[in-house]
Amino acid sequence: MQKFVSFMLCAVLSVLLLISPASAADPTGLTVSDCSFSPAVLMPGDTGIFTITLTNSGEETAVLNRAYIKVYDSEGMEMTTAESYNLPRYIAPGSTVTLTMPIQAGEETGIFYPVFNLAFADHTTSLKQPIPVIVDDSGLDISLSQVPDSFPESGSEQVVLTLANPMQTDLTAVSLSADGKGVSCKEGTVFVGTISSGSSAVSALTVRTDKAEEVNLVVSYTNGANKHTETVTIPAGVSASAAAPELIITNILVEKTGKYHTLTADVNNAGFTTANSLRITSLEGGDIGPYSTYVVGSLDGDDLAGFELTFTEPENGVLTLVLTYKNDGGDSTTEEVSVVLENHMKPKETNSVPLIVGGIIILLVAAAVIVRKKKAGKSE
């Protein structure tokens, strides 16, 4: 891929030379015979080296004055003028010279065209040519193949990372380490080497913690001569509790349903990570009714789910809910929540039918009395 990008760079430059007569050659027959750019793709802030080969195919000696690359701020690159310090004064017929000049990328990404300039000694002839420069901020993609949700405050954990290179250039000197207060790596630094464009590598290391609060997994690499680092931070010790699932039971309602009681409620995950394989049962409720154990499944952070339990009423009137779940690393956790049943009993519905019937009867009797009085008044 890197060779392909370099080939395309030279191809584009060659086409631009052909369609720009003023920049194709000077009167002596001096032409651009080759060019390259290393690294093939820059990251923001990187410095690359542009190499250009000039050949005098004419019959006269070319007398040179100055060679430089002009970069303009509007092009999204660092606004500099890079001089060629290895420019010879003369290029004889049939001779070839190679010039190298640095180009530094700015913070923008895309394809930019700084201009190569070659001025001759007569001050009336010059060769000007745009140079396509690709700037890409993709860097290395880091996937946590085997990493705990949190590290123990003191202990040891193995970590496995997958490092992928989506860029159109090879990334070299790739290495992996761990740092932070109270953090060390058993292997020191794990050297991965070169990850070619479009390829990936799997690397493992053992992280040791000693009263640590967080672990920094650091991936270092170079693009050409430019060093880069990517860091993934994972909590440890006290900090880990903030990231763990935090289950809260709300909206509790208890109802007597025949031979057993039924509890309905919501379970909320106020933590940042997922509670996997969550199931809820009761400690004293026994195996009775259709929902003596309720399986919730996975409950993401900042999410809730309704559940229902059937149980036999404990003698002391306090039911202990048992919540069991696993973190992303497969470690199981059990929590208990006590529920005082009388505080959550569903109010009994009042049977209003007898009251309604009694009211109707009273109205009918009253109406009958009124009718009899009216009849007695007429007879008198």
Q: pTM (2 decimals)?
A: 0.58
Fold of 2-135: Immunoglobulin-like (2.60.40)
Cβ contact 120:62 at 8 Å: yes
- 85-89's contacts with Cβ under 8 Å and 24+ in sequence apart are 88/64, 89/63, 89/64
72-95 confidence digits (pLDDT tens)? 655 556 545 566 667 888 899 999
Average pLDDT over every residue of 180-197: 93
Q: How many CB atoms lie within 10 A of CB 44?
A: 14
pLDDT at position 331: 77
- Greater pLDDT, 144 or 163: 163
- Give me the amino acid identity at 111: I
With cut-offs at 50, 70 and 90, classify the pLDDT of residue 16. Answer: very low
- Indicate where the chain has its CATH 2.60.40.1230 domain(s): 244-343
Domain 244-343 sits in CATH at: 2.60.40.1230
DSSP 314: P
Q: Which helix (H) or strand (E) is 74 found in, with range?
A: none
Residue 68 has pLDDT above 90, yes or no: no
- Indicate where the chain has its CATH 2.60.40.3880 domain(s): 2-135
Residue 166 has pLDDT above 90, yes or no: yes
CA 184, CA 222: separation in Å to the nearest integer? 23
Residue 173, Ramachandran bin (φ over 0: left; ψ between -120 and 50: alpha; else beta)? left
Residue 73's SS3 state is helix
Which among 77, 8, 90, 11 is positioned nearest to 48, based on CA atoms?
A: 77
**Cis-peptide into 21, omega within 30 deg:** no
Q: How many CA atoms lie within 13 A of 304 on its CB side?
A: 10
With cut-offs at 50, 70 and 90, classify the pLDDT of residue 30. Answer: confident
- Enumerate residues 6+ apart whose C-beta is below 8 A from 90: 61, 62, 63, 64
* Token digits of residue 98: 């190679």
Beta bridge mates, 250 = 266
Q: How many CA atoms lie within 13 A of 142 on its CB side?
A: 22
Domain 141-241 sits in CATH at: 2.60.40.10
- Enumerate residues 6+ apart whose C-beta is below 8 A from 365: none
Residues comprising the chain, all counted: 380
* Token digits of residue 368: 């009958």
DSSP 236: B
**277-287 burial: b if 16+ Cβ within 10 Å, else e:** ebebbbeebee
- Indicate where the chain has its CATH 2.60.40.10 domain(s): 141-241
